Structure 1
């Protein structure tokens, strides 16, 4: 049996914007699972950009599994949610057609009050979390229909009172090292 090799394709949350390379969730997952993990996150990328690089960044690297995590930047740029869904579906289908096991990772919540100050110039953040919830729900439903595993990062960053725990964020959008540790903690080999 071929040893597990994971490629993670996504945006700045996958890349680990603002965090030391050794502290990014993908690196922590590699150490925890004792498998090869290749981080193909690109800060600022959209699902359209991810789809355009799926062949070179995922398929040509011949992994056993590919974790797909994206859509938040699309929502910030006001891309139609149906286009985001189509891009994610196309990625999953291309991955499966190449005998690679897809896994979706659900997007994390955004601290709307903090992120507007730092990143307000790039797009809209009002009601971003309700849009992320809608997209995450679509990913769950799509994944159930195609028997694709899902890693649910979204609830990790909420406190018991229903507020987002800001201590895990650098700027309301990106996670600090403790947020990345929290993501790596919930990933298990049995999930794949």
Structure 2
């Protein structure tokens, strides 16, 4: 749980008498990145000490350079990001000296929406959103999830609609699921990496916590039966997608971003191929496949969302 209260910071300061107990965002060249880094350090210290709850005073000593609303965006999204991975920390309370600050933080903390930005596997192809994994999660959890999947889209196209489909909705979380169409269209891996990085950084600065998704598996034999193209085309698709998936894992570890595993649940036992029982055409899930992804999302998100 994440909350905010107004408090007397002078009174609280007596509990932090040592200079090394006060963390400051001192760098002037990238104050936003520094604020996120300082908060991450504080949360890491709390977890290392075995704390279950943490009260964190926030003082803006850089008023002319950054507004309290911007600080709220940065700190709440970073807190959600960190706590989605480190579930031992159960409660975080920000303490602000005035109601202006409290209201700025409360606006971000009270957000309930979760936007799911993706391609046809988010949309629910071929039968539509009612059969998607997103709808399965909503029906069983009551989460306020918005399905923003569009058939055939690449990560670049998703990035281009980040403002209108995600940021304007003011969600608490973004679940980003892309890569299949980049792989099929042979978009260079460097470009895919750039797109995903831009999405992550873009939403964090808007008070939105990113969650990435490892792309679901393919079945090459099914692909050959369902699509025009050679075996080499199908194998290239498979290899490109594997590279994107591995990069997502690596990037998520480096940036400490929680990642939903949509790869393993549909995988054929002991093979790097999707299970044909749960795939319609070698790539898109069947109705049962979408149900499996929905159940996987529910289980993996349990205890990690702070709404």
Q: Do the structures match in fold with TM over 0.5?
A: yes
**Counterpart of 1:131 in 2: which secondary structure?**
helix
Q: TM-score, normalised by structure 1?
A: 0.92
**Counterpart of 2:303 in 1: which secondary structure?**
helix
Q: What residue is the counterpart of 1:29 in the other structure?
A: 137
CA contact (8 A) 2:129 2:147 kept: no
Are 1:191 and 2:270 an aligned pair? no
Return the offset for 1:3.
Answer: 5.0
Higher relative contact order (CA 8 A, sep 6+): 1
Q: What residue is the counterpart of 2:83 in the other structure?
A: none
Moved over 3 A (4+): none
What is the aligned residue count? 192
Q: What residue is the counterpart of 1:94 in the other structure?
A: 202
RMSD over aligned Cα atoms: 1.9
Q: What residue is the counterpart of 2:225 in the other structure?
A: 117
> In the alignment, which of 18, 26, 42 is matched to residue 150 of structure 2?
42
Are 1:135 and 2:248 an aligned pair? no
> In the alignment, which of 158, 164, 167 is matched to residue 274 of structure 2?
164
Q: C-alpha separation between the residues in 2 aligned to 1:74 and 1:20?
A: 21
Q: What residue is the counterpart of 2:54 in the other structure?
A: none
Are 1:182 and 2:295 an aligned pair? no
CA contact (8 A) 1:16 1:24 kept: yes
Q: C-alpha separation between the residues in 1 aligned to 2:159 and 2:178?
A: 10
Which ranges in structure 1 are unaligned for 5 or more consecutive residues? none
Deviation track 1:112-149 (CA, whole Å, cap 9, x = no partner) reads 1221332235x932243332222112111111222211
**Residue range with higher mean Cα deviation, 4-13 or 161-170:** 161-170
Structure of greater Rg = 2
Are 1:70 and 2:188 an aligned pair? no
Return the offset for 1:190.
Answer: 1.8
**Counterpart of 2:233 in 1: which secondary structure?**
coil
Q: C-alpha separation between the residues in 1 aligned to 2:159 and 2:254?
A: 21
Which ranges in structure 2 are unaligned for 5 or more consecutive residues? 1-108
